[in-house]
Amino acid sequence: MRFRQQARWLSIISLVVLATGACSVLADGPSFEDWRADGRALQAETTPKPNCLPVRTGEIVINEVLAKPAGIDLDGDGLSNNRDEALELLFVGTFAGHLDGTRLVLDGKNRGSITDITCLHPNQLVVVTGSTAQALVLPAGSRHVRLTKPLNLRDDGGHLQLIGALGTVLGQAHYPAAQPGQSQVRQPDGDAFGGFVSHLHTGGGSHSLGSVSMLPAVH
């Protein structure tokens, strides 16, 4: 009888120890090595982060729109087509900022996002193209970024919005019907509240990119 009681007590003690051990494992969570073995956790640790804050509302101007290239080979691939459509942005913030995670919306429809952590500096120009455009050759200091989708601007005009990663409108523009082979630029140049006129009528503003409207035509 005594032997059976001792065996029963040993069984109870063993169950308590096992249960306590199981609870402690759940309470402590996986080790650091376990997290690093998880591909998602490892990817999150190694993803580059911007070295500046996101661009804020009013710090970006949609300054120029090329909606109907018609003879302009912006990306230099020997063809003039919708891959040559582009926007010129002017960063007017006081301090550096990035556009990573910013979406372009055209008449309420998402036209893709910018995935670029580069810090922009005051008065820096950014040329935005669709995902299928080739690399652009731009003046020193200017930057080319591609959206995650083709740009597909409307020839008959439209309303553009840049929506930041936090859902706020960073900048917007309503451009009129496009003229073949001509971009449309703000007048006054660089003014977020200025209307759009043909690039050929601006007299060469200080911010307008000659590469948008002065590339050799495709014959």
* Helix-strand-coil split of the chain, %, nearest 5: 25, 30, 50
Q: What is the mean pLDDT of residues 122-132?
A: 95
Chain CA centroid to CA 131, Å: 11
Cβ-Cβ contacts under 8 Å for 202 (sequence gap 6 or more): 185, 187, 189, 208
Parallel, antiparallel or unpaired: strands 125-129 and 169-175: unpaired
Q: What is the pLDDT of residue 200?
A: 58
Give the separation between CA 210 and CA 219, rounded to whole angstroms.
19
Q: What is the mean pLDDT of residues 22-26?
A: 42
Neighbours of 216 (CB within 10 A): 9
Residues 60/92, Cβ–Cβ less than 8 Å: yes
Write down the residue that tokens 């059976």 correspond to.
4
Q: Is 199 helix (H, G, I), strand (E, B) or coil?
A: helix
Q: What is the pLDDT of residue 138?
A: 85
Q: What is the mean pLDDT of residues 119-143?
A: 93
Q: What is the pLDDT of residue 42?
A: 52
Give the separation between CA 143 and CA 209, rounded to whole angstroms.
11
∠ CA 82-117-143, nearest 5°, is: 45
User: What are the domain boundaries of the chain?
Assistant: 2-46, 53-213
Q: What is the pLDDT of residues 37-76, one digit of tens each?
A: 555 555 555 678 889 999 999 999 999 999 999 988 888 8
pLDDT above 80: residue 212: no
Least confident of 16-25, 31-40, 121-130: 16-25
Give the separation between CA 187 and CA 61, rounded to whole angstroms.
12
Give the separation between CA 151 and CA 107, rounded to whole angstroms.
13
Parallel, antiparallel or unpaired: strands 125-129 and 143-146: parallel
Give the separation between CA 204 and CA 30, rounded to whole angstroms.
62
- CATH number corresponding to 53-213: 2.60.40.1260
Q: Where are the beta strands (DSSP E) in 36-124?
A: 53-54, 60-66, 86-91, 97-98, 103-106, 109-113
